[in-house]
Structure 1
Amino acid sequence: MSLQLLTDFPLLPHNTFGFDVRARHAMRIDSVDAAAALATDARIANLPQLVLGGGSNIVLTRDFDGVALIVGILGKRVIDETGDAWLVEAGAGENWHDFVAWTLARGMPGLENLALIPGTVGAAPIQNIGAYGLEMGERFERLQAVELATGARVEFDRADCAFGYRDSFFKRAGRGRFMITSVVFRLPKAWTPRADYADVARALEGASKRDAQAIFDAVVAVRRAKLPDWTVLGNAGSFFKNPVVSAQAFEALKAREPGVVSYPQADGQAKLAAGWLIDRCGWKGRGIGGAAVHDRQALVLVNRGGATGAQVLELANAIKRDVLARFDVELEMEPVAL
């Protein structure tokens, strides 16, 4: 199989921050066979490779001197149905939000809390995306991937993926080694609504019913009200993880900052609201060059126009220093910087 090798490829449409950078080469990957063929393609044998889906979780700080692999593998289908669940498969290049809407339209709830998260299906396991009381890993069954160095087709189950909070095997030991080609989700027939988050609960007040579609609509409304549209104002969604601290560290922090926003964890630790920490440090609405903290949601860094990835990282590091100095809490970025 011979794939078209594109030269001097613009990455502006392929990263949600809207950084105007380019790749030395690019290839569009629209099938598993195409992904497997990369390993034997002499034209790219000695080039660094960058797998890109929607580019919603990356900070590109410079032009990429290698080959960008643009994943466009499509397809959605129910592959099995048991007494208690539907098994649904989607190609890695499918738009995540559209896939969630597709499952609901076919009467298969379970992903509605993850509506309107930017990016592709293939990126979802890498980040273990989550929102409003649900993580993708809870609905995950397995995925198919291709090892880039060998072209081998590999299946990963939940244990293999080693999901953590906004984390997975693919962000750590597996980083850059695999291209995810499809993902299978297990959607339970015994559906239980998750509508306890305050913003979602408020959006549902007065609703005639609280079915999966109503929660989907509420999540969409909340996200649109609080978060900027990346097609209008470049961003990568939540930029920092909510830090988790020990019970002892939390009690010490609470004594100094009685209003600290936190969420108790099952193991006794406390998850802190990173946006609150950033806001209390006075960063909301402030920026460096074209990079800024969003004026309505301090957890989101935005490209106000003409920002570079280096400026976003400079801003992020300044925020991290201030939060550490005031709260003795270290923030960790969600997106990967390149």
Structure 2
Amino acid sequence: MLVENNASLQPYNTFGIVARAQTLVRVRSSDDVHALRAHPQLGPQPWFVLGGGSNVVLTGDVKPVVLKMEIKGRRLVQETEHAWIVEAGAGEPWHDTVAWTLAQGWPGLENLALIPGTVGAAPVQNIGAYGVELQDRFDSLDAIDLATGQSFTLNAAQCAFGYRDSVFKHAPAPGSAVGDVPRGMGLAGRAVITQVRFRLPKPWKPELGYAELERRAAEADVPPSPQQIFDWVCAIRRAKLPDPAVLGNAGSFFKNPTVTPEQCADIIARDPKIVHYPMPDGSIKLAAGWLIDACGWKGKTVGKAAVYEKQALVLVNQGRGETSVTGGEVMTLAKAIQTSVYERFGIRLEPEPVVV
């Protein structure tokens, strides 16, 4: 267990916001979590789990003990007639893990290429892109109850996956225990994920539900391979989303809202060009980026926070180093966008990042 005091968090959040942790602990194994719980000074303090920092907005210095998840390791757990079961440590970079599975000949994650963050954060957010969500490829995960030190395993049903949602984003009920998870108890702030396992199905088939992928596949002379889809997804994302290493950001800042067919029909009557998608449950998903763009926000700024000129769904950091954007500027811009969209469309946008 490696402990650092007064540690800079600017390198560990993709927005590049200047902030510090009073105490940062690098967690490289489950034993480190248990050692931290037993520590006489750090154990009793509140903790904050930090993965790749790609889904967080820091509004100031972080007083809770920051657990920087750096558990590594990847392996094939099992191969059956129907699937490959692959495990990765919570601290492994997500995109590198996707590329690694393809290199091993185990396809299935290619539509989720180039999503920033770590493996351990992927189930928390139920990440998704280009027609695939993590829950579609999820097998199980291992975690540790921070209150009791108990190790436990959750399957997909116990993770209660939803659209950018899971049991890890909901507060636990008073007095609940890990064993209560199947009854819907939350685990936000209660558990830390250590390993995640994926079920990559056999035989492989391409997921081409996204329009741009479907178009590229139609133009190709032969059916696409997993590597071809991986390359297409990377190219599409790079064309419309900024690289956090060049322009600080946290990816898509708002969730795509869902409405009833009646609500959608009402909006279409006023704005016929609104981008919308029917969902399996009968609801309609609206493109948040379109809503924001329609309100004229693309390229607008608050301090050093700006709406990305190529994609209104992304807020970016126009500062550098010590003159970086502040979390307050980011949230001021976000709240102004929310107000604007609500006043025009009657839709409340919900931020994706965790605000600390």
Q: TM-score range by the shorter chain?
A: over 0.9
CA positional deviation for 1:160: 1.1
**Which residue does the alignment assign to 2:205?**
192
2:278 to 264, 271, 284: 264
Residue 195 of structure 2 corresponds to residue 182 of structure 1: yes
Q: Deviations 1:221-279 (Å, cap 9, x if unpaired)?
A: 00011100001111111010000001111111111111110001122211000000000
- TM-score between the two structures when normalised by the length of structure 2: 0.92
**1:113 partner SS:** helix
Q: Equivalent residues in 2 for 1:275-294 (5 A)? A: 275-294=289-308
CA distance in 2, matches of 1:198, 1:47: 48
CA shift for structure 1 position 38: 2.0
CA separation in 1, counterparts of 2:333 and 2:44? 34
Matched, 1:232 2:246: yes
Counterpart of 1:158 in structure 2 is 156
**1:71-86 to 2 correspondence within 5 Å?**
71-86=69-84
Bigger mean CA deviation after superposition, 197-206 or 120-129: 197-206
Contact 1:37–1:151 (CA<8 Å) still a contact in 2? Answer: no
Larger displacement relative to structure 2 (191-200 or 67-76): 191-200
**Whole-Å separation in 2 of the counterparts to 1:5 and 1:83:** 45
- Given the two structures, how large is their TM-score scaled by the length of structure 1? 0.97
Structure 2 alignment gaps of length 5 or more: 171-185
Q: Secondary structure at the match of 1:125?
A: helix
State the one-letter code of the partner of 2:193.
I
* Residue type at the aligned position of 1:333: P
Within 5 A, what are the aligned runs for 1:212-223? Answer: 212-223=226-237
Instruction: Report the secondary structure of 1:55's partner residue.
Output: coil
Kept in 1: contact 2:13–2:56 (CA 8 A): yes
Q: Name the structure 2 match of 1:89.
A: 87
> Whole-Å Cα distance in 2 between the matches of residues 126 and 183 of structure 1?
11
Task: Give the secondary-structure state (helix, strand or coil) at the position aligned to 1:229.
Answer: coil
Which residue is equivalent to 2:12? 14
Q: CA RMSD in A?
A: 1.1
Question: Which residue identity lines up with residue 300 of structure 1 in the other structure?
Answer: V
Q: Distance in 2 between matches of 1:286 and 1:201?
A: 33
Please name the residue that 2:57 is paired with. Answer: 59
Cα distance, 1:257–1:28 mapped onto 2, change above 3 Å: same
Select 1:331's aligned residue among 337, 349, 353. Answer: 349
Q: Secondary structure at the match of 1:64?
A: coil
| Counterpart Cα distance in 2 of 1:5 and 1:106 | 35
Amino acid at match of 1:178: A
Residue equivalent to 2:141: 143
Question: Cα distance, 1:208 vs. partner?
Answer: 4.2
Is the contact made by 1:38 and 1:151 (CA closer than 8 Å) also made in structure 2? no
Q: How many angstroms apart in 1 are the aligned matches of 2:274 and 2:36?
A: 50
- Give me the whole-angstrom Cα distance separating, in 2, the residues matched to 1:107 and 1:45: 42
Change (3 A) 1:51 1:207: farther
| Offset of residue 207 of structure 1 | 5.5
Q: What letter is aligned with 1:332?
A: E
C-alpha displacement of 1:29: 0.5
For residue 276 of structure 1, what is the amino acid of its counterpart?
A: W
Classify the secondary structure of the residue corresponding to 1:298. Answer: coil
Aligned to 2:256: 242
- Superposition deviation, residue 202 in structure 1: 3.8
Percent identity (aligned)? 55
What SS is found at the alignment partner of 1:316?
helix
User: How far, CA to CA, are the matches of 1:201 and 1:22 in structure 2?
Assistant: 45
**How far, CA to CA, are the matches of 2:163 and 2:209 in structure 1?**
19
Q: Gaps (5+ residues) in structure 1? A: none
Contact 1:36 1:153 in 2 (8 A): no
Whether the aligned pair in 2 keeps the contact of 1:240 and 1:274 (CA below 8 Å) is: yes
Change in CA separation of 1:228 and 1:203 when aligned onto 2, cut-off 3 Å: farther
Offset, 1:45: 2.9
Tell me, yes or no, if the aligned pair for 1:86 and 1:186 is still in contact at 8 Å.
yes
**8 Å CA contact 1:77, 1:89 repeated in 2:** yes
Q: How many Å separate the matches in 1 of 2:312 and 2:289?
A: 5
The whole-number CA distance in structure 2 between the counterparts of 1:244 and 1:112 is 26
Q: What is the Cα deviation at residue 203 of structure 1?
A: 4.2
Counterpart in the other structure of 1:115: 113
Q: Give yes or no for contact 1:74–1:93 (8 Å, CA) kept in 2.
A: yes
